[in-house]
Amino acid sequence: MLEIFLVMLCGLTSRGMTKDADNKGRFSSPVLDVTERQITLEKNQMVQLNCRGRWELEWVLPSGVSKNQVSAQVEETRCGKRANHYCSRLTLSPALAQHTGSYRCRYLHKQRKHTSVYVFIADSQQPFVKVQKEIPDVVYMKEGEDLVFPCRVTNPDSKVSLVKFPDRRLGTDQRNIIWNNRKGFVIRTPTYFYIGLFSCETIINGTKFTNKFLTYRPVNKIQQVYLNSTGLVQALQGERLALNCTVTAEWNSRVKINWSYPGKGNSSVSISRRITQSKTNVVFYSILTVHKLHKADKGLYTCHVTSGPAKREVNTSVIVYDQPFITLKHKDGSLVYAHAGQKSFRLFPKLRAFPEPEIVWLKDGMVADEQCSRYHVDGYSLVIRDVAEEDAGVYTILTRIQQFGLYRNLTLSLVVNVKPQIGEKAVAVRDTATMPRFSRQAFRCTAHGVPRPQIQWLWHRCPSKGLSPARLA
């Protein structure tokens, strides 16, 4: 037992550490009593490490050791000539194979200042730090990163080989496959070859020990992100709002879905998730529900999707109204003009309403689109095709939201301008006529147009050329 006492505290003092004053920089990091970077002990021996520094200390221990374990004890004292130093002694007894690892002593308030030693606790019954469980551990492969088969060993000199299932033995080449007794096998540039079942194997005294690993290459391909309402979502205060974010990803993908929204932190929001998998892809649903909308819930709702390094997001804006409403106004006055022959003409008032109102267009008190096949309602507007004179009249839009008893109406007058036309021109009349001299003649001109045309008579001397001289005489 005695020879295991690694280093004595006097080892430190004898190196002149008592002369604190002239060693100002000396304890910028805590100092361990072991000067080697690594030490090897046998199972059931005792690990004792002493650490000393200018400030309060703490230990960072391998994952196999827990501080409140009975076998691990930390004893803290003030030390140094004027008790101006902090000393901490870690004792681990009995030391076990799973205690193998890095022991680090650091300043409590300056954690980057630390010193460590790697301790191997050799156990011929447990050559690997981790005991093989029934199922192999999963090792994730990440693009651009080393692949590590974490078969750390308890004896630094163990001879370990890496085997690909069923029996392909891989030698270390110090370039791509590297053996590291504190880490395991490190593969520098993992390829598809490294997908599958692998094991670290070592033989001690005729007994084979293994650590098995299943490598897994996560797929990070988001194919589609869909929010069931993009654009604008309008809702009334007190109503329920539900948004459904649907993510389609490559089969085998793992996807994280996150929402950001104005009421984050308030509890009236719930998020539910669902996954379905088909032969070719996986579909993830995340449904955000605001059970009772408040004014403060208005704003941007974004569904954030990540899968490894891949990122996507979709958003929608939500407007919350205090109450239902209709506002209906003229766009450019109550009188509108079209002209006959126009391909189409649109009557549209300024209408804002929530929720969606029902609308009806009337022409001269009768339902417009039942009156004429050239009329049709498009959204809130009434479209007239092939405008004709008879389309002039009084149009009324009636809007209502029946469930809230809201009604509004608005009236527009349409004037259809018609180009003036002379009625006589339509009947074939001769250009010239012979009248007896001094006879009384009445000439008729009938014109039609909107607005009402003005008629003006002009007299022309008969053209002389191209007419027979007899008539002129």
Ligand X SMILES: *[C@@H]1O[C@H](CO)[C@@H](O)[C@H](O)[C@H]1NC(C)=O
* Nearby residues of 135 by Cβ (< 8 Å), 6 or more positions away: none
By CB under 6 A, tell whether 352 contacts ligand X: no
β-strands 207-216, 137-140 pairing? parallel
Q: Which stretch binds ligand X (CB under 6 A): 113-121, 156-164, 170-178, 259-267?
A: 259-267
Place of tokens 């959204």: 379
Q: Candidates 265, 405, 436, 463: give the one binding ligand X (CB under 6 A).
A: 265
Q: Candidates 46, 141, 178, 242: give the one binding ligand X (CB under 6 A).
A: 242
The two structure tokens encoding residue 208: 């084979």
Q: Candidates 71, 306, 342, 371: give the one binding ligand X (CB under 6 A).
A: 306
| Smallest gap from residue 305 Cβ to ligand X (A) | 7
Q: Candidates 82, 256, 292, 352: give the one binding ligand X (CB under 6 A).
A: 256
The two structure tokens encoding residue 163: 């085997």
- Residue closer to ligand X by CB (options 102, 229) is 229
How far apart are the C-alpha atoms of 376 and 384, rounded to whole Å? 7
β strands within 205-309, DSSP E: 207-216, 222-227, 232-236, 241-250, 256-260, 269-277, 281-290, 299-307
Place of tokens 């948004």: 243
By CB under 6 A, tell whether 307 contacts ligand X: no
Q: Which stretch binds ligand X (CB under 6 A): 27-35, 142-150, 178-186, 236-244?
A: 236-244
Q: Which stretch binds ligand X (CB under 6 A): 160-168, 263-271, 343-351, 424-432?
A: 263-271
- Residue closer to ligand X by CB (options 115, 210) is 210
End-to-end CA distance of the chain: 156
| Smallest gap from residue 204 Cβ to ligand X (A) | 6
By CB under 6 A, tell whether 246 contacts ligand X: yes
Q: Candidates 28, 35, 77, 258: give the one binding ligand X (CB under 6 A).
A: 258
How far apart are the C-alpha atoms of 148 and 161, rounded to whole Å? 14
How far apart are the C-alpha atoms of 473 and 464, rounded to whole Å? 11
β-strands 168-170, 177-180 pairing? unpaired
Residues 6-45 close enough to bind ligand X by CB under 6 A: none
How far apart are the C-alpha atoms of 469 and 14, rounded to whole Å? 150
Question: Taking a C-beta distance cutoff of 8 angstroms, is the pair 351, 328 a contact?
Answer: yes
Q: Candidates 8, 83, 197, 300: give the one binding ligand X (CB under 6 A).
A: 300
Residues that bind ligand X (CB under 6 A): 124, 204-205, 228-229, 242-244, 246, 256, 258, 260, 262-263, 265-266, 285, 287, 294, 296, 300, 304, 306, 314-315, 396, 398, 409
